């Protein structure tokens, strides 16, 4: 296969020209290309009057051996497939199935990896399967009936199931392509293989995780929903079993892929003496704007063009005193702000989009970095810090899981909002007009204002228009890191593999899934597969 890079089409050119331009780069007629596949597509919208798409493709051509030096150009190369580093399987026999706690991306892909290689994992998930979970979440959004074990945070697919389904990541690991390919096999659209900023959307992601679960079971794995981890059984600092819903299950290997919101599990592990520490995260609000405001800012006269989907943004700022970072997070074009509480009498927000991203509002978290200077070294204090402001948001919202809402321009001058303008909150089960200062840490209010003012210079109308903020956003990442060594086991408990975002070693769907694969591989290096 031949890779051809930096093929540029402007927005007015049809996709039919892609093959022609690829052939021109190689120096052949386009009829000599017998196969073409897009490897990467990105949009260049820096000039709003000339929006361009840049492609990298792989092709097969007739008489490739005669091309010679033409395959050594700046944008042309012969593809050499990268191979994942091979390893030897362990020989030590397992007496019991490897146990995985949590079925978010980390647990799901740890399970898939082990199942594919004959290790027959047992996955324990406190929440429900994705279909039942969807019904339970809908009940909460409609009437405030919160299921503490099956909600936006807990259940099949993890917190990412009710999100935009973003698949972007900053990590460079060959396992990323393994994850993407598994998702396509499970029903995700093929465009995620090449889009520069791929996403699935909550509507499609639900079917993807369900299909991966079915594959795990078909390969000999086992999944238990509605089963909560209550204790880890230790002997001489080694895992010997777990207590789940009152029953002890023996195991030698335990992957803890609990997600960033399993606070009761963090507390149990801390009391057992598992080594962990607090880590930085961020706290702030969700903002909502008209999607067409973002489209016009990003695409100008081409806003709404059929080749362009709903526009995104990514905004960052460092305060003048260099003490805080302010940034957008988990931006959801054409999406919804959702109630994401997992504990009683606490309000938490998150963002969600369907694959089409066709709702009239855009939303994003806008958050400010916090760290040990704000809540101390003790990991339980970091969790208490989150809880404090979720409780204040519940109180400020007036109870019943209603969220406090404020016009952004009112927040900028410290004024309580008494009337909204054109942008209506998408958050359910309801909202109360408020002053967001009542439920945010005092130390981040001015940094947040400073950052928002900076964002106004990048997107006109961001603070001065009719946009709103919804509070609070506290679950940007885990507040805790469960420390592990090079073999990915806990540094003081043998057989315990802290994994994914909840362990503090990933952020987002792809990096969490990759971490799950790596933990599965570490078990395979030490132990023989089950008979």
Q: Is the pLDDT assigned to residue 85 strictly greater than 80?
A: no
Express each pLDDT in 37-47 by its tens digit: 999 999 999 99
**What is the C-alpha separation between 224 and 129, in angstroms, rounded?**
9
Q: What is the mean pLDDT of residues 349-359?
A: 97
Q: Is the pLDDT assigned to residue 65 strictly greater than 90?
A: no
Sign of the alpha-carbon dihedral angle for 10, 15, 18, 20: negative
Residue 276's pLDDT is 97
Average of per-residue pLDDT values in the chain:
96
Q: What percent of the chain has pLDDT over 70?
A: 99
Instruction: Report domain extents, the chain.
Output: 2-78, 99-276+483-526, 281-473
Express each pLDDT in 115-168 by its tens digit: 999 999 999 999 999 999 999 999 999 999 999 999 999 999 999 999 999 999
Q: What percent of the chain has pLDDT over 90?
A: 94
Residue 14's pLDDT is 94
Confidence of residue 321 (pLDDT cuts 50, 70, 90): very high
Residue 341's pLDDT is 98
Q: What is the mean pLDDT of residues 433-445?
A: 98
Q: What is the mean pLDDT of residues 349-362?
A: 97
Q: What is the mean pLDDT of residues 385-409?
A: 98
Cis peptide before 117 (omega within 30 of 0): no
**What is the C-alpha separation between 74 and 55, in angstroms, rounded?**
15
Please name the residues in contact with 388: beta carbons below 8 A apart, sequence gap of 6 or more: none
**What is the C-alpha separation between 185 and 173, in angstroms, rounded?**
20
Query: What region does 230 belong to: left with phi over 0, alpha with psi -120 to 50, or beta?
Result: alpha
Single pTM value for the model? 0.95
76 DSSP β-pair partners: 4
CATH architecture of 99-276+483-526: 3-Layer(bba) Sandwich (3.50)
Domains 2-78 and 99-276+483-526 share a fold: no
Q: What is the mean pLDDT of residues 434-463?
A: 98
Query: CATH fold of 2-78, please?
Result: Alpha-Beta Plaits (3.30.70)
Sign of the alpha-carbon dihedral angle for 43, 300, 355, 158: positive
């Amino acid at each position: 296969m031949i890779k051809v890079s930096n093929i540029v089409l402007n927005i007015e050119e049809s996709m039919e020209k892609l093959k022609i331009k690829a052939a021109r780069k190689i120096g052949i007629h386009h009829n000599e290309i017998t196969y073409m596949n897009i490897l990467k597509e990105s949009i260049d919208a820096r000039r709003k009057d000339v929006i361009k798409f840049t492609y990298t493709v792989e092709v097969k051509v007739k008489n490739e051996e005669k091309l010679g030096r033409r395959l050594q150009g700046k944008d042309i190369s012969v593809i050499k497939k990268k191979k994942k580093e091979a390893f030897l399987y362990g020989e030590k026999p397992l007496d019991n199935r490897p146990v995985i706690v949590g079925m978010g991306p980390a647990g799901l892909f740890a399970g898939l990896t082990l199942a594919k290689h004959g290790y027959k994992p047992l996955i324990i998930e406190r929440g429900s399967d994705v279909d039942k979970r969807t019904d339970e979440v809908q009940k909460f959004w409609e009437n405030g009936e919160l299921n503490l074990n099956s909600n936006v945070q807990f259940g099949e697919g993890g917190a990412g199931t009710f999100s935009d389904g973003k698949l972007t990541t900053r990590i460079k690991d060959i396992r990323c392509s393994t994850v993407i390919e598994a998702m396509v096999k499970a029903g995700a659209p093929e465009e995620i293989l090449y889009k520069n900023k791929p996403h699935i959307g909550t509507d499609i992601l639900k079917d993807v995780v369900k299909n991966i679960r079915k594959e795990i079971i078909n390969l000999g794995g086992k999944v238990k929903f509605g089963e909560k981890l209550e204790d880890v059984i230790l002997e001489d600092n080694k895992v010997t079993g777990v207590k789940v819903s009152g029953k002890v299950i023996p195991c030698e290997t335990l992957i803890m892929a609990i997600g960033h919101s399993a606070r009761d599990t963090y507390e149990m592990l801390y009391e057992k003496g598992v080594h962990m520490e607090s880590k930085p995260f961020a706290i702030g609000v969700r903002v909502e704007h008209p999607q067409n405001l973002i489209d016009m800012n990003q695409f100008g006269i081409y806003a709404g063009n059929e080749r362009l989907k709903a526009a995104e943004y990514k905004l960052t700022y460092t305060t003048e005193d260099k003490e805080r970072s302010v940034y957008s997070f988990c931006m959801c074009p054409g999406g919804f702000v959702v109630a994401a509480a997992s504990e009683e009498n606490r309000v938490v927000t998150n963002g969600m989009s369907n694959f089409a991203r066709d709702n009239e509002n855009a939303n994003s978290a806008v958050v400010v970095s916090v760290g040990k200077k704000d809540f101390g070294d003790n990991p339980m204090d970091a969790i208490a810090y989150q809880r404090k402001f979720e409780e204040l948001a519940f109180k400020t919202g007036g109870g019943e899981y209603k969220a406090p809402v404020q016009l952004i321009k009112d927040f900028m001058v410290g004024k309580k909002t008494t009337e909204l303008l054109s942008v209506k909150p998408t958050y359910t089960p309801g909202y109360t007009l408020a002053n967001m200062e009542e439920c945010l840490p005092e130390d981040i209010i001015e940094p947040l204002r400073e950052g928002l003012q900076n964002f106004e210079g990048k997107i006109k109308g961001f603070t001065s228009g009719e946009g709103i903020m919804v509070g609070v956003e506290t679950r940007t990442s885990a507040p805790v890191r469960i420390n592990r060594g090079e073999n990915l086991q806990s540094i003081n408990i043998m057989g315990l593999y802290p994994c994914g975002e909840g362990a503090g070693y990933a952020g987002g769907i792809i990096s969490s899934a990759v971490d799950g694969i790596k933990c599965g591989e570490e078990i395979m290096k030490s132990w023989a597969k089950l008979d």
